């Protein structure tokens, strides 16, 4: 009986710490969620008002809430939508955090002056035309966002947001598998694409699809990286596999620049 008691006494702490270690390991691998919010604008006045709100009120509020890396972007100057779109990317540790933030933003009564102008804008003079929001879940191949580090001027940097649509849910899942099990994520990493995130859209207007963002110091770097990708033997082998054929029906590409107040 004494031997059994000794064994149980030793076993329980060991089991506890083993369980704790596995739990923490699971938490570290937990996949993030991303909200990709696009403000659609009619004119320069609306753009200025949204930028002022985001910089002075929205981002500080999210920082205080515990979300530190919010990306804010605009199309390149040569894009036909330049001045007509602002893209905001927000990472969440869970859907619960997403829900809590929506409640916080709705209940907020105190705002910066610029924030108040935005929040209390009359129907005759709204600060934007529409907001399009996409909610996505990180890939298992890259479960957490990685903010890139550049030393060159922000006005030179290129952030490329891509959307890959699939003809059906099953075909779309095949492309997600190509990124994860096929290690397309690893290929991008090896070639230095500085990915911010890869994600599967769980709610949005163009489903089924996935979205991801890669980054480059400038346009020349962008072009050189994609040439290296297309010419890479691993990509040629992966893209030629019979099981990965015809798994993308449409690709949308958005070339963006970070605003001065963006967190990355």
Instruction: Establish if 20 belongs to a structural domain.
Output: no
Q: How many domains does the chain have?
A: 1
Each residue's pLDDT tens digit, 199-209 = 999 999 999 99
Considering only residues 17 and 46, tell me which one the structure prediction assigns the higher pLDDT. 46
Instruction: Establish if 28 belongs to a structural domain.
Output: no
Average pLDDT, stretch 156-165? 98
Task: Return the top range by mean pLDDT from 17-31, 99-113, 159-173.
Answer: 159-173
Instruction: Establish if 92 belongs to a structural domain.
Output: yes
> In the predicted model, what is the mean pLDDT of the chain?
91
Instruction: Establish if 8 belongs to a structural domain.
Output: no
Instruction: Establish if 15 belongs to a structural domain.
Output: no
How many angstroms separate the CA atoms of 57 and 18, rounded? 44
Residues 203-207: contacts with CB under 8 Å, at least 24 apart: 203/134, 203/135, 204/36, 204/133, 204/134, 204/135, 204/136, 205/132, 205/134, 206/163, 206/165, 206/252, 207/165
Average pLDDT, stretch 154-171? 97
For residue 72, pLDDT over 60 is answered with yes
Each residue's pLDDT tens digit, 168-225 = 999 999 999 999 999 999 999 999 999 999 999 999 999 999 999 999 999 999 999 9
* pLDDT at site 55: 97
Instruction: Establish if 82 belongs to a structural domain.
Output: yes
For residue 4, pLDDT over 70 is answered with no
How many angstroms separate the CA atoms of 216 and 239, rounded? 23
**What is the SS3 assignment for 119?**
helix
Full domain range(s) for residue 122? 33-258
Average pLDDT, stretch 135-160? 96
Each residue's pLDDT tens digit, 13-35 = 444 444 444 443 444 469 999 99
| Residue 74 CA: distances (Å) to CA of 120, 144, 157 | 24, 23, 12
Average pLDDT, stretch 36-54? 97
* pLDDT at site 29: 67
Average pLDDT, stretch 81-97? 97
Instruction: Establish if 88 belongs to a structural domain.
Output: yes
The pLDDT > 70 percentage for the chain reads: 89
How many angstroms separate the CA atoms of 122 and 129, rounded? 13
Instruction: Establish if 47 belongs to a structural domain.
Output: yes
Q: Does pTM top 0.75 for this prediction?
A: yes
HSE-up of residue 226 (Cα within 13 Å, Cβ side): 10
Tell me the CATH number at 162.
3.30.70.100
């Amino acid at each position: 009986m004494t031997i059994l008691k000794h064994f149980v006494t030793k076993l329980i702490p060991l089991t506890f710490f083993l369980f704790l270690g596995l739990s923490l390991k699971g938490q570290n691998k937990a996949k993030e969620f991303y909200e990709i919010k696009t403000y659609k604008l009619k004119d320069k006045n609306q753009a200025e008002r949204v930028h002022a709100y985001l910089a002075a009120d929205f981002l500080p509020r999210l920082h205080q809430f515990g979300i530190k890396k919010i990306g804010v972007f605009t199309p390149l100057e040569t894009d036909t939508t330049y001045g007509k779109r602002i893209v905001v990317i927000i990472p969440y540790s869970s859907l619960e955090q997403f829900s809590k933030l929506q409640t916080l933003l709705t209940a907020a009564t105190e705002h910066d002056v610029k924030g108040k102008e935005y929040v209390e804008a009359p129907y005759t003079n709204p600060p934007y035309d529409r907001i399009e929001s996409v909610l996505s879940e990180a890939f298992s191949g890259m479960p957490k966002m990685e903010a890139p580090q550049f030393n060159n001027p922000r006005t030179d940097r290129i952030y490329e947001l891509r959307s890959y649509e699939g003809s059906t849910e099953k075909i779309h899942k095949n492309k997600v598998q190509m990124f994860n099990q096929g290690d397309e994520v690893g290929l991008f990493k090896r070639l230095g694409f500085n990915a911010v995130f890869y994600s599967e859209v769980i709610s949005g207007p163009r489903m089924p699809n996935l979205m991801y963002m890669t980054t480059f110091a400038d346009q020349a770097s962008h072009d050189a990286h994609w040439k290296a990708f297309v010419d890479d033997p691993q990509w040629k082998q992966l893209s030629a596999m019979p099981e990965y054929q015809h798994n993308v029906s449409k690709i949308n590409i958005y070339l963006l620049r970070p605003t001065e107040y963006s967190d990355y």
